[in-house]
Structure 1
Amino acid sequence: MAEGGRNSKGQFAKGNRGKAKGTRHKATVACEALLDGQVEKLTKKAVDMALAGDVQAMRICMDRIAPPRKDRHVIFDMPQIEGAHDHPAALASIMTAVAGGALTPAEGQALAAMLAEHRKAIETADIESRLAALEASHG
């Protein structure tokens, strides 16, 4: 067996899964030890640099104060969806909203994906009820 619990091919030997869960990298531990007790000074320095006009320091500070928003609440007119027959109109409204700038392309894509999942759920439920009816008529 090679060093570190590995076999001659460099793979972990059976029963040896490497480092224990939660084990931290030596570099991370060393970095934390180096910064320990300096966080307040470093933060004040970053703020001072930002206030002095350092753009990178401003970006760092602003990212901590108001991180970039990953999602937003979307409001636009979409027809009521009660079944698969309503999906073409709903998809058309999403495409119209993207084309008009009310939704970003990514938001439109996410909504269209939700619509596709909804359609799949309707189809699955329909197949299940048809199968149950078929089994009942033959059983």
Structure 2
Amino acid sequence: MSNSGKFGAGRSGNPAGRPKGARNHTTRAVEALLDGEAAALTRKAIELALDGDGPALRLCLDRLLPPRKDRPVTFALPPIVTTDDLPKATGAIVAAVAAGELTPAEAAEISKTLDVHVRAIEATELHRRMAALEARGT
């Protein structure tokens, strides 16, 4: 700390940072207010939902069945046995996006999976070639 009472550039007043599990002052205050009321509040939310209150109904349903982050997708994807098969697979992905069967984000995720699969094929082929070279050399 400098003489001005401020920390110098690049020097934290709390180098260890916030302890794990430490709660915000506001969060602690709200928890203290609601202490022992969780069951009553839950019951009231359920009653409101059953009476047709839209926001209460959404709250209850989101807790019972949270919205899915992603979904399974089905579309025709040719088998990928060698790296030569990759253009057919990427062509199928592009066609599925063009047809509206996949979103661009879903296509990007599937393409990442294809990339990992192709790298596994390449590693297997490389291992096979090295083994063949070693067998010839001995």
TM interval, shorter chain, is 0.7 to 0.9
| 2: CA distance, partners of 1:106 / 1:61 | 29
Match of 2:101 in 1: 102
Q: 3-state DSSP class of the match of 1:18? A: coil
Alpha-carbon distance, 1:52 to partner = 2.4
Q: Any runs of at least 4 consecutive aligned residues in structure 1 with deviations exceeding 3 A, and if so which?
A: 8-11, 117-134
Q: How does 1:1-139 map to 2 (within 5 A)?
A: 1=1, 7-9=7-9, 11-12=11-12, 16-123=15-122
| 2: CA distance, partners of 1:89 / 1:98 | 14
| 2: CA distance, partners of 1:119 / 1:59 | 43
Superposition RMSD in Å: 3.2
CA distance change for structure 1 residues 10 and 77 in 2, over 3 Å: closer, same or farther?
Answer: closer
| 2: CA distance, partners of 1:20 / 1:47 | 36
CA distance change for structure 1 residues 11 and 132 in 2, over 3 Å: closer, same or farther?
Answer: farther
Alpha-carbon distance, 1:94 to partner = 1.6
Q: Number of residue pairs matched?
A: 134
Alpha-carbon distance, 1:125 to partner = 6.2
Query: Identity rate of aligned residues, in percent?
Result: 45
Specify the code of the residue in structure 2 equivalent to 1:16: P
Deviates more, 1:120-129 or 1:69-78: 120-129
| 2: CA distance, partners of 1:8 / 1:98 | 53
Alpha-carbon distance, 1:131 to partner = 8.5
Alpha-carbon distance, 1:96 to partner = 2.2
| 2: CA distance, partners of 1:73 / 1:117 | 19
| 1: CA distance, partners of 2:43 / 2:10 | 47
Gaps of 5+ in 2: 134-138
| 1: CA distance, partners of 2:120 / 2:108 | 18
| 1: CA distance, partners of 2:83 / 2:98 | 24
1:100-133 deviation per Cα after TM superposition (whole angstroms, max 9, x unaligned): 3333332222112222333345556667887899
Q: What's the TM-score, normalizing by structure 2?
A: 0.72
| 1: CA distance, partners of 2:15 / 2:101 | 54
